[in-house]
Amino acid sequence: MSTNWRISSFNGVLLAAYFIPTWAIIAFRIMMSPVHGLYDRPSISVALFISDHLHMAPMATVRVAWLLALGRLMVVAFFAIFVFFAARASIRKTGGCDEALAIALAIGSVLSFVSMWMASQVGETAALRLHATELLMLLGTAIVLVIERPAQPRTIPGVTSDALALEQSQLTHNG
Protein backbone atom coordinates (compact mmCIF):
# COMPACT_ATOMS: atom_id res chain seq x y z
CA MET A 1 0.00 0.00 0.00
CA SER A 2 2.86 2.38 0.66
CA THR A 3 4.05 2.17 -2.94
CA ASN A 4 0.90 3.44 -4.61
CA TRP A 5 0.84 6.96 -3.17
CA ARG A 6 1.68 9.76 -5.54
CA ILE A 7 3.86 12.56 -4.16
CA SER A 8 1.18 15.20 -4.73
CA SER A 9 -1.44 13.08 -2.97
CA PHE A 10 0.79 12.46 0.03
CA ASN A 11 1.75 16.15 0.18
CA GLY A 12 -1.91 17.14 -0.13
CA VAL A 13 -2.89 14.90 2.76
CA LEU A 14 -0.16 16.47 4.90
CA LEU A 15 -1.41 19.94 3.98
CA ALA A 16 -4.96 18.90 4.77
CA ALA A 17 -3.80 17.69 8.18
CA TYR A 18 -2.62 21.24 8.88
CA PHE A 19 -5.22 23.39 7.13
CA ILE A 20 -8.43 21.54 8.05
CA PRO A 21 -8.19 21.96 11.84
CA THR A 22 -6.32 25.26 11.82
CA TRP A 23 -8.47 27.15 9.34
CA ALA A 24 -11.70 25.58 10.65
CA ILE A 25 -10.95 26.81 14.18
CA ILE A 26 -10.11 30.29 12.86
CA ALA A 27 -13.29 30.40 10.78
CA PHE A 28 -15.49 29.23 13.66
CA ARG A 29 -13.99 31.86 15.95
CA ILE A 30 -14.88 34.49 13.37
CA MET A 31 -18.38 33.06 13.02
CA MET A 32 -18.99 33.10 16.78
CA SER A 33 -17.75 36.63 17.29
CA PRO A 34 -16.93 38.38 14.00
CA VAL A 35 -15.05 41.39 15.36
CA HIS A 36 -13.24 39.55 18.16
CA GLY A 37 -12.39 36.65 15.80
CA LEU A 38 -11.14 39.05 13.16
CA TYR A 39 -8.75 40.65 15.65
CA ASP A 40 -7.19 37.28 16.62
CA ARG A 41 -3.59 36.68 15.58
CA PRO A 42 -4.23 34.78 12.29
CA SER A 43 -6.57 37.48 10.93
CA ILE A 44 -5.13 40.61 12.54
CA SER A 45 -3.57 41.84 9.30
CA VAL A 46 -6.95 41.83 7.56
CA ALA A 47 -8.59 43.59 10.50
CA LEU A 48 -5.93 46.29 10.71
CA PHE A 49 -5.95 46.87 6.96
CA ILE A 50 -9.74 47.21 6.94
CA SER A 51 -9.78 49.65 9.85
CA ASP A 52 -6.66 51.68 8.98
CA HIS A 53 -6.70 51.83 5.18
CA LEU A 54 -10.28 51.23 4.11
CA HIS A 55 -12.05 53.02 7.00
CA MET A 56 -15.01 50.67 6.86
CA ALA A 57 -18.05 50.96 9.09
CA PRO A 58 -18.48 48.33 11.82
CA MET A 59 -21.19 46.49 9.90
CA ALA A 60 -18.99 46.34 6.80
CA THR A 61 -16.16 45.00 8.95
CA VAL A 62 -18.45 42.22 10.15
CA ARG A 63 -19.35 41.40 6.54
CA VAL A 64 -15.68 41.20 5.55
CA ALA A 65 -15.06 38.96 8.57
CA TRP A 66 -17.86 36.66 7.45
CA LEU A 67 -16.45 36.56 3.90
CA LEU A 68 -13.02 35.67 5.28
CA ALA A 69 -14.56 32.88 7.37
CA LEU A 70 -16.49 31.64 4.34
CA GLY A 71 -13.32 31.58 2.24
CA ARG A 72 -11.44 29.64 4.91
CA LEU A 73 -14.31 27.16 5.27
CA MET A 74 -14.36 26.62 1.50
CA VAL A 75 -10.67 25.70 1.61
CA VAL A 76 -11.37 23.36 4.54
CA ALA A 77 -14.24 21.74 2.62
CA PHE A 78 -12.19 21.14 -0.52
CA PHE A 79 -9.32 19.70 1.52
CA ALA A 80 -11.81 17.38 3.25
CA ILE A 81 -13.21 16.28 -0.13
CA PHE A 82 -9.65 15.66 -1.32
CA VAL A 83 -8.85 13.51 1.73
CA PHE A 84 -12.07 11.54 1.22
CA PHE A 85 -11.15 10.85 -2.42
CA ALA A 86 -7.49 10.16 -1.61
CA ALA A 87 -8.53 7.41 0.79
CA ARG A 88 -9.65 5.31 -2.17
CA ALA A 89 -6.66 3.80 -3.97
CA SER A 90 -8.35 3.63 -7.39
CA ILE A 91 -9.20 7.34 -7.36
CA ARG A 92 -5.83 8.32 -5.92
CA LYS A 93 -3.76 6.37 -8.48
CA THR A 94 -5.53 7.88 -11.47
CA GLY A 95 -5.44 11.42 -10.12
CA GLY A 96 -9.21 11.72 -9.65
CA CYS A 97 -8.75 13.62 -6.41
CA ASP A 98 -6.52 16.28 -7.94
CA GLU A 99 -9.38 18.65 -8.80
CA ALA A 100 -10.44 19.08 -5.19
CA LEU A 101 -6.82 19.58 -4.16
CA ALA A 102 -6.26 22.13 -6.95
CA ILE A 103 -9.33 24.15 -5.92
CA ALA A 104 -8.26 24.12 -2.26
CA LEU A 105 -4.75 25.19 -3.24
CA ALA A 106 -6.00 28.00 -5.49
CA ILE A 107 -8.45 29.51 -2.99
CA GLY A 108 -6.04 29.02 -0.09
CA SER A 109 -3.18 30.63 -2.02
CA VAL A 110 -5.29 33.67 -2.88
CA LEU A 111 -6.39 34.08 0.74
CA SER A 112 -2.85 33.66 2.07
CA PHE A 113 -1.38 36.03 -0.53
CA VAL A 114 -3.94 38.75 0.14
CA SER A 115 -3.48 38.35 3.90
CA MET A 116 0.30 38.47 3.46
CA TRP A 117 0.04 41.63 1.39
CA MET A 118 -2.24 43.23 3.97
CA ALA A 119 0.19 42.26 6.74
CA SER A 120 3.03 43.93 4.87
CA GLN A 121 0.95 47.09 4.43
CA VAL A 122 0.12 47.42 8.13
CA GLY A 123 3.55 46.34 9.39
CA GLU A 124 2.44 43.19 11.23
CA THR A 125 5.54 40.97 10.98
CA ALA A 126 4.19 37.93 12.86
CA ALA A 127 1.16 37.74 10.58
CA LEU A 128 3.42 38.32 7.56
CA ARG A 129 5.55 35.31 8.52
CA LEU A 130 2.48 33.15 9.14
CA HIS A 131 0.82 33.96 5.82
CA ALA A 132 4.10 33.71 3.88
CA THR A 133 4.68 30.25 5.35
CA GLU A 134 1.17 29.12 4.47
CA LEU A 135 1.53 30.52 0.97
CA LEU A 136 4.84 28.73 0.40
CA MET A 137 3.35 25.43 1.58
CA LEU A 138 0.39 25.83 -0.77
CA LEU A 139 2.51 26.90 -3.75
CA GLY A 140 4.98 24.05 -3.21
CA THR A 141 2.17 21.51 -3.36
CA ALA A 142 0.69 23.24 -6.40
CA ILE A 143 4.01 22.96 -8.24
CA VAL A 144 4.31 19.26 -7.40
CA LEU A 145 0.70 18.75 -8.52
CA VAL A 146 1.32 20.45 -11.87
CA ILE A 147 4.56 18.61 -12.62
CA GLU A 148 3.53 15.11 -11.51
CA ARG A 149 1.32 13.24 -13.95
CA PRO A 150 -1.17 10.54 -12.97
CA ALA A 151 -0.02 6.95 -13.38
CA GLN A 152 -0.57 5.60 -16.88
CA PRO A 153 -2.31 2.23 -17.32
CA ARG A 154 0.20 -0.56 -17.85
CA THR A 155 0.18 -2.29 -21.20
CA ILE A 156 1.69 -5.66 -22.05
CA PRO A 157 4.63 -5.14 -24.43
CA GLY A 158 4.27 -6.92 -27.75
CA VAL A 159 0.50 -7.30 -27.51
CA THR A 160 -1.54 -4.97 -29.66
CA SER A 161 -5.21 -4.19 -29.43
CA ASP A 162 -5.83 -6.11 -32.70
CA ALA A 163 -4.52 -9.31 -31.12
CA LEU A 164 -6.81 -8.81 -28.15
CA ALA A 165 -9.77 -8.15 -30.44
CA LEU A 166 -9.29 -11.55 -32.12
CA GLU A 167 -9.34 -13.32 -28.75
CA GLN A 168 -12.70 -11.88 -27.73
CA SER A 169 -15.63 -14.24 -27.91
CA GLN A 170 -18.16 -13.84 -30.65
CA LEU A 171 -21.79 -13.87 -29.56
CA THR A 172 -24.28 -15.31 -31.99
CA HIS A 173 -27.57 -13.56 -32.51
CA ASN A 174 -30.55 -15.77 -31.86
CA GLY A 175 -33.25 -14.27 -33.86
Longest dimension (CA), the chain: 83
pTM here?
0.82
Residue 175 within any structural domain of the chain? no
Mean pLDDT of 143-158: 74
Write the pLDDT tens digit of every residue in 10-45.
999 999 999 999 999 999 999 999 999 999 999 999
Residue 152 within any structural domain of the chain? yes
Residue 1 within any structural domain of the chain? no
Residue 153 within any structural domain of the chain? yes
Residue 174 within any structural domain of the chain? no
Q: What is the span of the domain harbouring residue 134? A: 7-167
Q: In degrees to the nearest 10, what's the CA dihedral of 79, 82, 83, 85? A: 160
**How many structural domains is the chain composed of?**
1
